[in-house]
């Protein structure tokens, strides 16, 4: 087994994942939960099994929250590694399906940095590296680091003569 | 009309840029309007025809008053249609005047649009291919549509220049490629390897004669033939190859499947009559009689299906033959050109630099005949007017030979694309454990036969339980048939399972990958086989993936992504030995030493 890439994401990324995942989970939960609550209020004679459904939803919700807020972020963080070498980008990620990418910078067409509200609140940015056939995102880097990476990829991409 | 023609030839200069404005051919106006008019008339007839007929047949037109009103309405409709026609023609004329291209200093400019103006600028270096396409009508008049591709990824659309005369199109193509190479030569000293001078084998088929006739006649406005460069290699299809191409198109497999199904069902019809029926003698008689009847009906149905499939097959074979009529593939300087089509003519020209991969495909039928299909992968862009069928053909790439004996492949490749002469040969095959995993994956997890059998078994068991529990007489009577049908299904499932298993074993034995300094090759075996070779420099990125089972087995899945096709293509080989995969990942890294001193030398073919 080859050694893993050296760099990890910014540790704050765990919290970013927690927040963004919980937003989605809560939204999905509300979409399922509210109609059932309304149904329970409107149909008192069927309440017994509706309450059972509610309980089931609550359990699923709790399990999802536990999974995405407590269990997954540290594992994901530990598995997500990248390394920017002189002329290629090396990414290892995936918990069950472990993937290892090698992306030569000379194939890179353009690089972007992106910042959503959550990432901005933590002072992070994500870098997207696109080749002619797909893109890769490194989700959580400190802003300076992200800009450094972007500039470097852009510089190396500029040196590539042939565009495809 | 003569006035327009004059104008098309006088080609006024753009006062701003001082460049020559090239207008498209005037058939844009009338052929274009003809097309739109035909569509509109068709819709009008379809939407109004029934009501008109209804008006006449209804018998409501008894009084002359009614007849007059009907006449007035019809006249108004006719007037409306006429106005629409005039409007379309005027629109076409105006848009004709706002449609031109220029050959600029370093880029190709294309202008289009009356109100919302569209300007396309294509730097010459970025041009990947210049294709031309002719519909039957266009062919008669000797005009064609030219599309210019830039390999800009999936979001980019090809630029389509409609209605150029054949002469103008050839001139444009020659000019574009000449300027491209001039532009590239400015910052590029490494020449592209010269094609070995392989003499093209003269081969012909019956459809070449009409295709040649087309070329000679050319069409009304075609103009003179233009010499666009020296051809170093050229070939066509022989009669046999053309015929086989036609016969082995997609429907063949469906036909074979239908035949198998027919045989199986007939067999089943006989089988059912032997199913013991635990009822009294009369019931037995009825059961046997009806089973025989069912068997006959099934056989007759299968026969009819077979006949219909045969007809469809013959028709599509004919269609394929015609569309491959006049097939010619050639190497001209730095370009590969393929043209075919007896009615709708297609001409595709791609720059060698932009070839992403070479794929040699053997479908089941081709494989049985020891033949294969050669195609080149290039970055495809979907142009605005493309429909589903064109997009399906885009996935195939540029077919440079649809049906060729496998032993002729090296010769053709050496002639048409000598840059790929150095493909690796030391194939790395899969480890032993891949066979076990392959059989499990193909026969069970993805095995259609297995899941089919499972579903049939579940249904059968449920019905049997239902029959014994409810004591329903009808259900009990039907039970033998149900079990009979289920038996047939099991036989079918076993057949499928065997096919899957054979496929899995073949997959294991034939799949491999190989790489050397400049190239990588991936072979996927199975009932149909596919070998893809690509230059190392054309790999956009690669990755390996491993799941927990693979981790235990010590294998990995290798993925390679190239830019060929629409939005890129991923090729994968499952269950490569871990050490091989890791070595391959090392190979994938850019070569550091050379790269840092002179990145430009990491050229496509030398990488």
Whether B350 and chain A come into contact, CB under 8 Å, resolves to no
Nearest to B463 by CA among B496, B448, B485, B492: B485
Cα–Cα dist B502/B573, whole Å: 18
Q: Given the structure tokens 């209605």, which residue do they identify?
A: B163
Calpha distance B559→A94 (Å, rounded): 15
Whether B143 and B219 have beta carbons less than 8 Å apart is answered as yes
Query: Could you tell me if A105 lies within 8 Å of chain B, comparing CB atoms?
Result: yes
Round the CA-based radius of gyration of chain A to a whole number and report it: 21
* pLDDT higher than threshold 90 for residue B42: no
0.80 surpassed by pTM? no
Separation between Cα atoms, residue B408 and residue B241, nearest integer Å: 12
Put simply, the answer to whether B543 touches A99 (Cβ < 8 Å) is: yes
Asked whether residue A22 falls in the same domain as residue A91, the answer is: no
A73 lies in the same domain as A103: no
Confidence of residue B351 (pLDDT cuts 50, 70, 90): confident
In this structure, the number of other CB atoms found within 10 A of the CB of residue B579 comes to: 12
Q: Which residue of B has its CA nearest to A89?
A: B589
Quickly tell me which residue has 């096919």 as its tokens: B499
Is B533 in the A-facing interface, judged by CB distances under 8 Å? no
Average pLDDT of every residue of chain B: 78
Please give the interface size between A and B, counted as residue pairs whose CB atoms are below 8 Å apart.
108
- At residue B389, does pLDDT exceed 70? no
- Buried b vs exposed e over B225-242: b needs ≥16 C-beta within 10 Å? eeebeeebbbbbbbeebb
Name the closest residue on chain B to residue A155, using Cα atoms: B599
Is the Cβ pair A102, B542 closer than 8 Å?
yes
Mark whether A89 and A153 lie in a shared domain: yes
Q: What's the confidence (pLDDT) of residue B549? A: 92
Is residue A135 in some structural domain? yes
| pLDDT band with cut points at 50, 70 and 90 for residue B266 | low
Residue finishing a domain among A32, A53, A78: A78
One domain, residues A135 and A104: yes
Examine the pLDDT at B305 and tell me if it is beyond 70: yes
Q: Say if CB B430 and CB B576 are below 8 A apart.
A: yes
- For residue B188, pLDDT beyond 70: no
Which residues in chain B have Cβ-Cβ distances shorter than 8 Å to A3? none
- Domain presence at residue A98: yes
For chain B, what percent of residues have pLDDT higher than 70? 73
Residues A72 and A86 in one domain: no
Local structure of B246: helix, strand or coil? helix
A72 with A89, same domain: the answer is no
- Residues A15, A56 within the same domain: yes
Into how many domains does chain A fold?
2
Query: Would residue A164 count as lying in a domain?
Result: no
Report the CATH number at residue A143: 2.30.29
Any CB–CB contact under 8 A between B545 and chain A?
Answer: yes
DSSP codes joined into one string, B15-52: TTT-PBPEE--THHHHHHHHHHHHHHHHHHHHHHHHHH
Structural domain including A16 reads 7-78
Query: Are residues A148 and A89 part of one domain?
Result: yes
Last residue of a domain, one of A29, A62, A78: A78
When CB atoms are compared, the residue of B126, B546, B568 closest to A134 is B568
Rounded to a whole number, what is the distance in Å from the CA of B11 to chain A's nearest CA?
A: 34
The interface residues of chain B toward chain A in range 248-277, judged by CB-CB distance below 8 A, are none
Residue A11 lies in a domain: yes
Kindly state whether residue A148 falls inside one of the protein's structural domains: yes
Closest Cβ–Cβ partner in B128, B568, B604 for A133: B568
Contact B463, B471 (CB under 8 A): no
Q: How far apart are CA A16 and CA B410, in angstroms?
A: 55
pLDDT tens figures, B356-379: 899 999 988 888 888 898 999 887
Q: What is the DSSP letter of B471?
A: -
- B576/A162 Cα distance (integer angstroms): 31
A164 touches chain B (CB under 8 A): yes
**How does DSSP assign B380-444, residue by residue?**
----TT--HHHHHHHHH-EEEEEEEEGGGHHHHHHHH-GGGTT-----EE--THHHHHHHIIIII
Residues A91 and A58 in one domain: no
For residues B22 and B28, give the distance between their C-alpha atoms in angstroms, rounded to a whole number.
13
Q: Which of A96, A102, A160 sits opposite B588 (nearest CB)?
A: A102
Q: Are residues A107 and A148 in the same domain?
A: yes
At which of A78, A109, A141 does a domain end?
A: A78
A70 lies in the same domain as A133:
no
Give tens-digit pLDDT for B206-255: 666 667 666 666 666 666 666 666 777 888 888 888 888 887 766 666 66
CB within 8 Å: B128 and A94: no
For residue range A81-136, list pLDDT tens digits in order.
988 887 788 899 988 888 999 888 877 777 788 888 888 888 888 888 888 777 88
* A44 in any annotated domain: yes
Distance from CA of B411 to the nearest CA of A (A): 27
Tokens read off for B222: 């075609």
Contact B417, B335 (CB under 8 A): no
CA atoms lying within 13 Å on the CB side of residue B450:
11
pLDDT in tens, B546-590: 999 999 999 999 999 888 877 788 899 999 999 999 999 888 887
- Cβ–Cβ under 8 Å, residues B162 and B25: no
Query: Does residue A68 belong to any structural domain of this protein?
Result: yes
Q: Does A93 touch chain B (CB under 8 A)?
A: no
B321: tokens are: 């033959």
Tell me whether A3 touches chain B (CB under 8 Å).
no
Query: Residue A98: its chain B contacts at CB < 8 A?
Result: 545-547, 551
pLDDT attached to residue B580: 92
Considering only CB atoms, A97 lies closest to which of B125, B547, B586, namely B547
Distances (CA, A) of A20 to A75, A96, B303: 16, 21, 60
Q: What is the pLDDT of residue B30?
A: 84
On average, the pLDDT of chain A sits at: 85
The answer to the question of residue A2 being in a domain is no
- Looking at the fold, whether A136 and A152 belong to one and the same domain comes out as yes
Give the DSSP letter of residue B13: B
Q: With contacts defined as CB-CB under 8 Å, which chain A residues touch B539? A: 104, 107
Determine whether the interchain pair A1/B582 forms a contact, defined as Cβ–Cβ distance below 8 Å. yes
Q: Which residues of chain B neighbour A106 with C-beta distances below 8 Å? A: 590, 595, 599, 602
* Residue partners of A30: CB distance under 8 A and separation at least 6: none
């Amino acid at each position: 087994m080859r050694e893993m890439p050296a760099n990890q994401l910014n540790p704050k990324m765990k919290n970013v994942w927690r927040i963004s995942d919980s937003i989605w989970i809560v939204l999905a939960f509300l979409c399922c939960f509210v109609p059932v609550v309304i149904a329970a209020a409107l149909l008192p004679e069927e309440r017994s099994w509706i309450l059972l459904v509610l309980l089931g939803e609550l359990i699923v919700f709790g399990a999802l929250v536990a999974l995405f807020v407590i269990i997954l972020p540290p594992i994901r963080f530990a598995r997500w590694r990248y390394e920017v070498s002189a002329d290629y980008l090396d990414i290892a990620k995936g918990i069950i399906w472990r993937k290892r990418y090698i992306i030569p910078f000379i194939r890179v067409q353009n690089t972007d940095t992106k910042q959503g509200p959550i990432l901005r609140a933590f002072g992070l940015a994500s870098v997207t590296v696109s080749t002619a056939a797909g893109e890769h995102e490194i989700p959580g880097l400190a802003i300076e680091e992200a800009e450094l990476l972007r500039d470097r990829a852009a510089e190396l991409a500029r040196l590539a003569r042939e565009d495809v | 009309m003569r006035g327009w023609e004059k104008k098309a030839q006088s080609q006024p200069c753009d006062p701003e840029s001082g460049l020559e404005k090239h207008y498209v051919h005037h058939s844009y106006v009338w052929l274009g309007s003809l097309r739109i008019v035909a569509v509109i008339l068709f819709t009008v007839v379809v939407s109004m025809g029934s009501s008109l007929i209804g008006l006449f047949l209804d018998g409501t037109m008894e009084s002359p008053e009614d007849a007059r009103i009907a006449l007035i309405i019809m006249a108004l409709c006719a007037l409306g249609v006429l106005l629409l026609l005039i409007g379309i023609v005027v629109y076409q004329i105006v848009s004709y005047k706002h449609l031109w291209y220029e050959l600029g200093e370093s880029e190709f400019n294309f202008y289009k649009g009356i109100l919302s103006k569209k300007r396309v600028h294509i730097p010459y270096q970025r041009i990947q291919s210049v294709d031309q396409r002719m519909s039957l009508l266009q062919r008669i008049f000797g005009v064609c549509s030219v599309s210019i591709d830039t390999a800009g990824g999936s979001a980019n659309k090809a630029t389509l220049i409609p209605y150029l005369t054949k002469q103008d199109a050839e001139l444009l193509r020659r000019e574009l490629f000449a300027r491209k190479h001039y532009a590239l030569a400015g910052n590029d000293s490494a020449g592209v390897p010269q094609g070995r001078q392989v003499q093209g084998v003269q081969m012909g088929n019956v459809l070449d004669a009409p295709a040649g006739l087309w070329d000679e006649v050319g069409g009304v406005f075609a103009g003179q033939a233009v010499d666009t460069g020296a051809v170093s290699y050229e070939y066509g299809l022989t009669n046999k190859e053309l015929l086989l191409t036609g016969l082995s198109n997609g429907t063949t497999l469906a036909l074979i499947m239908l035949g198998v199904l027919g045989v199986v069902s007939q067999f089943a019809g006989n089988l059912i009559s032997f199913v013991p029926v635990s009822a009294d003698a009369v019931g037995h008689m009825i059961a046997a009689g009806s089973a025989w009847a069912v068997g006959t009906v099934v056989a007759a149905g299968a026969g009819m299906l077979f006949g219909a499939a045969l007809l469809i097959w013959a028709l599509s074979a004919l269609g394929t033959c015609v569309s491959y009529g006049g097939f010619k593939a050639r190497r001209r300087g730095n370009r590969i050109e393929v043209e075919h089509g007896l009615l709708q003519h297609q001409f595709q020209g791609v720059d060698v630099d932009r070839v992403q991969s070479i794929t040699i495909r053997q479908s089941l039928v081709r494989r049985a005949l020891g033949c294969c299909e050669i195609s080149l992968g290039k970055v495809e862009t979907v142009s605005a007017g493309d429909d589903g069928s064109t997009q399906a053909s885009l996935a195939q790439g540029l077919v440079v030979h649809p049906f060729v004996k496998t032993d002729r492949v090296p010769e053709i490749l050496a002639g048409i694309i000598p840059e790929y002469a150095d493909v690796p040969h030391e194939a790395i095959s899969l480890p032993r454990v891949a066979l076990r995993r392959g059989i499990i994956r193909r026969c069970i997890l993805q095995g259609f036969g297995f899941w089919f059998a499972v579903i049939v078994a579940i249904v059968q068991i449920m019905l049997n339980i239902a029959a014994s529990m409810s004591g329903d007489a009808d259900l009990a009577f039907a039970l033998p048939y149900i079990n009979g049908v289920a038996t047939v299904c099991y036989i079918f499932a076993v057949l499928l399972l065997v096919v899957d298993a054979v496929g899995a074993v073949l997959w294991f034995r034939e799949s491999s990958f190989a790489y050397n300094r400049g190239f990588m090759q991936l072979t996927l075996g199975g009932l149909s086989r596919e070998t893809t070779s690509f230059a190392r420099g054309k790999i956009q990125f690669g990755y390996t993936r491993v799941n927990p089972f693979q981790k235990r087995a010590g294998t990995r899945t290798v993925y390679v992504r190239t830019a060929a096709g629409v939005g890129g293509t991923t090729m994968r080989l499952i269950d490569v030995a871990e050490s091989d995969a890791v070595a391959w990942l090392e190979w994938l890294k850019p070569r550091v030493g050379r790269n840092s001193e002179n990145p430009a030398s990491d050229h496509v073919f030398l990488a």
